[in-house]
């Protein structure tokens, strides 16, 4: 059984409360140990601080060599890592394998992004020169989410280490096993002890880490509620780089596509892949209040009926939610919509007693006044019928979030209008809303983030620019005005 932290290259027990992590499919315990208390958090930050000079001074090429060795270590462990992801999250094997592939691909993408976003550049200016360099912030915390316990944490850690930072990594307490395998891969790559430290635990561990005086940066992926708590905790520390990615209540407009079946496949993929546990999943489907709109919704419902879900499904479209509490929240959210006047087209159900599999829910909320603007993190899609495209755009933007938005339509003119007027950081046309390129920035506006997009732009928050004017001597410095010769 696992259950330890990794600090300065060594495994150590925790001094906090004991906790366990379960495989959502079966309830089997996959990790058991004591959370990192303040003593372990202090030790992890001290180790990161001690390792910082050697790692930052190593030079860009030498750091890249270690990161490329990490890529090879992931390749060698890809089966074990996929098994850990499945055990932690319940994802089907095919989906865990795609997550590992994304982690491996992140290395080359991050190196290319660093070259583009954080170049080292010299511009001659006569007798002197202007030089641009980038320096690491220092000791950074990475808070990982449970929905992509490998890929999303990896998306912070790789660029942070490339830039010369050292890292204390706190994964979700729901997915600790994946984090252990990741850190073991870094150790196999020859990473210097203390450059990456792992502390496991929940809220108390996170609060101790986020509030620590030794912290220079904090990179977080998770809910808006927790992200706001972190922002408040660091409100009087503007010198700490804070990068937040916090999800969304994402709209998907489907406006009279000629290929109704294809549109339905895209909608189902957008709303329900990963059991609806992607921050870019479609939460609101906006359609015209016409016979064509009704036909599309019925086609989506019919496709939902064909999805293979449950422990005996092979292959499974999706796995369970992360926990029974998460499953309960989805069913409670659907019930609340129904009580308020929503029309349940397909009701979410739990097909396996005591386990968090949930079938997709589809609810028409057109007639609800004051629809809740919440991110329901699971397979629940709300349908809104509108009279015209202007109303569709207004509905799409009627959210405090702004992560992702999508349009399914044949008309390129509608796309141009949607692109110009949509308020979101990821805006797709005739592609699943859950599709996002790691070679592009990833982030949103409003309650979806704090303008620190990740993916290709992660390099921006992992280093700060240093602008220098330099000369080899002083012979060209003129006598200042107003000084007697």
Q: What is the pLDDT of residues 325-361, one digit of tens each?
A: 999 999 999 999 999 999 999 999 999 999 999 999 9
Question: At a CB cut-off of 8 Å and minimum separation 6, what does 475 contact?
Answer: none
Other C-beta atoms closer than 10 Å to the C-beta of 241 total 21
Residue 477 belongs to some domain of the structure: no
pLDDT value of residue 62? 97
Sign for the CA dihedral angle at 418, 419, 420, 421 comes to positive
How many structural domains are present in the chain?
2
Residue 273 belongs to some domain of the structure: yes
Active site residue 332: no
Looking at the fold, whether 155 and 302 belong to one and the same domain comes out as no
Residue 384 belongs to some domain of the structure: yes
Read off the pLDDT of each residue in 368-397 and give the average, rounded to a whole number. 96
How many angstroms separate the CA atoms of 270 and 223, rounded?
19
Residue 484 belongs to some domain of the structure: no
SS3 5: strand
SS3 55: helix
Looking at the fold, whether 346 and 283 belong to one and the same domain comes out as yes
Let me know: does 48 contact 168? Beta carbons within 8 Å: yes
pLDDT value of residue 127? 86
Residue 482 belongs to some domain of the structure: no
CA atoms within 13 A on the CB side of 164: 19
Q: What is the pLDDT of residues 207-218, one digit of tens each?
A: 999 999 999 999
Residue 443 belongs to some domain of the structure: no
pLDDT > 70: what percent of the chain? Answer: 100
pLDDT value of residue 78? 97
**Nearest partner of 221 among 14, 464, 461, 31, judged by Cα:** 461
Q: What is the pLDDT of residues 284-311, one digit of tens each?
A: 999 999 999 999 999 999 999 999 999 9
**Nearest partner of 147 among 287, 323, 297, 329, judged by Cα:** 323
Looking at the fold, whether 367 and 240 belong to one and the same domain comes out as no
What's the CATH number where 290 sits?
Answer: 3.40.309.10
Among 40, 83, 173, 245, the one annotated catalytic: 245
pLDDT value of residue 77? 96
Let me know: does 276 contact 361? Beta carbons within 8 Å: no
| Banded model confidence at residue 17, pLDDT cuts 50, 70, 90 | very high
**Nearest partner of 166 among 199, 136, 134, 195, judged by Cα:** 195
Domain end call among 429, 459, 479:
429
**Nearest partner of 102 among 146, 163, 171, 154, judged by Cα:** 154
Looking at the fold, whether 157 and 278 belong to one and the same domain comes out as no
Looking at the fold, whether 218 and 361 belong to one and the same domain comes out as no
Let me know: does 248 contact 444? Beta carbons within 8 Å: yes
Read off the pLDDT of each residue in 182-195 and give the average, rounded to a whole number. 97
Read off the pLDDT of each residue in 232-249 and give the average, rounded to a whole number. 96
Cis check: omega of the bond before 315, within 30 degrees of 0? yes
How many angstroms separate the CA atoms of 156 and 151, rounded?
9
Which residues form the domain of 210? Answer: 5-246+449-469
Residue indicated by tokens 């993916």: 455
pLDDT at 61 over 80: yes
Residue 283 belongs to some domain of the structure: yes
Looking at the fold, whether 254 and 239 belong to one and the same domain comes out as no
Looking at the fold, whether 10 and 36 belong to one and the same domain comes out as yes
- Alpha-carbon distance values, 288 to 292, 381, 417 (Å): 7, 16, 16
Residue 119 belongs to some domain of the structure: yes
Looking at the fold, whether 184 and 275 belong to one and the same domain comes out as no
Beta strand 128-136 with 463-470 is antiparallel
| Banded model confidence at residue 1, pLDDT cuts 50, 70, 90 | low
pTM, whole model, 2 decimals?
Answer: 0.96
Looking at the fold, whether 151 and 11 belong to one and the same domain comes out as yes
pLDDT value of residue 36? 97
Read off the pLDDT of each residue in 90-113 and give the average, rounded to a whole number. 96
- Please give the structure tokens belonging to residue 135: 């320096």
Other C-beta atoms closer than 10 Å to the C-beta of 116 total 11
Read off the pLDDT of each residue in 375-383 and give the average, rounded to a whole number. 97
pLDDT at 413 over 90: yes
What's the CATH number where 132 sits?
Answer: 3.40.605.10
The residues facing 124 across adjacent strands are 129
Looking at the fold, whether 85 and 188 belong to one and the same domain comes out as yes
Looking at the fold, whether 95 and 44 belong to one and the same domain comes out as yes
| Banded model confidence at residue 476, pLDDT cuts 50, 70, 90 | confident
pLDDT averaged over the chain?
96
How many angstroms separate the CA atoms of 118 and 465, rounded?
8
pLDDT value of residue 126? 87
């Amino acid at each position: 059984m696992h259950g330890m932290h990794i600090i300065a290259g060594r495994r150590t027990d925790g001094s906090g409360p004991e906790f366990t992590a379960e495989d959502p499919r079966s309830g089997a315990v996959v990790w058991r140990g004591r959370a990192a208390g303040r003593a372990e958090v202090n030790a992890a930050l001290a180790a990161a601080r001690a390792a910082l000079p050697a790692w930052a001074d190593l030079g860009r090429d030498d750091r890249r060599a270690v990161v490329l060795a990490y890529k090879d270590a992931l390749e060698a462990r890809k089966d074990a890592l996929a098994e850990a992801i499945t055990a932690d999250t319940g994802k089907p094997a095919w989906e865990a394998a795609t997550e590992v592939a994304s982690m491996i691909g992140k290395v080359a993408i991050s190196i290319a992004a660093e070259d583009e976003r954080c170049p080292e550049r010299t511009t001659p200016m006569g007798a002197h020169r202007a030089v641009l360099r980038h320096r690491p912030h220092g000791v950074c915390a990475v808070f990982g989410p449970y929905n992509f316990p490998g890929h999303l944490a990896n998306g912070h850690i790789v660029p942070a280490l490339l830039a010369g930072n050292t890292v204390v990594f706190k994964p979700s307490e729901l997915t600790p096993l994946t984090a252990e395998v990741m850190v073991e891969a870094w150790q196999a790559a020859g990473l210097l002890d203390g450059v990456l430290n792992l502390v496991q635990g929940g809220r108390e561990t996170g609060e101790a880490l986020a509030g620590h005086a030794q912290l220079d940066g904090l990179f977080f992926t998770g809910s808006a509620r927790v992200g706001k708590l972190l922002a408040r905790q660091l409100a009087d520390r503007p010198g700490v780089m804070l990068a937040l990615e916090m999800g969304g209540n994402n709209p998907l407009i489907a406006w009279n596509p000629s290929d109704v079946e294809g549109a339905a496949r895209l909608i189902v993929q957008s709303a329900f892949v990963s059991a609806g546990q992607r921050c870019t999943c479609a939460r609101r489907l906006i359609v015209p209040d016409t016979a064509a709109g009704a036909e599309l919704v019925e086609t989506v419902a019919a496709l939902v009926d064909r999805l293979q879900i449950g422990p005996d499904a092979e292959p499974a479209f999706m796995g369970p939610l992360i926990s029974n509490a998460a499953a309960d929240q989805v069913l409670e959210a659907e019930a609340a919509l129904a009580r308020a006047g929503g029309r349940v087209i397909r009701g979410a159900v739990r097909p396996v007693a005591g386990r968090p599999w949930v079938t997709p829910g589809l609810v028409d909320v057109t007639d609800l006044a004051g629809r809740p603007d919440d991110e329901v993190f699971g397979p629940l899609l709300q349908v809104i019928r509108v009279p015209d495209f202007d109303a569709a755009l207004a509905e799409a933007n009627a959210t405090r979030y702004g992560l992702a938005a999508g349009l399914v339509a044949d008309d390129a003119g509608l796309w141009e209008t949607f692109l110009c007027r949509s308020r979101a950081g990821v805006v797709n046309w005739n592609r699943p809303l859950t599709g996002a390129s790691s070679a592009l920035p990833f982030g949103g506006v409003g309650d979806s983030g704090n303008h620190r997009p990740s993916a290709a732009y992660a390099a921006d928050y992992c280093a700060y620019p240093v602008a220098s004017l330099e000369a080899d001597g002083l012979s060209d410095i003129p006598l200042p005005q107003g000084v007697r010769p």
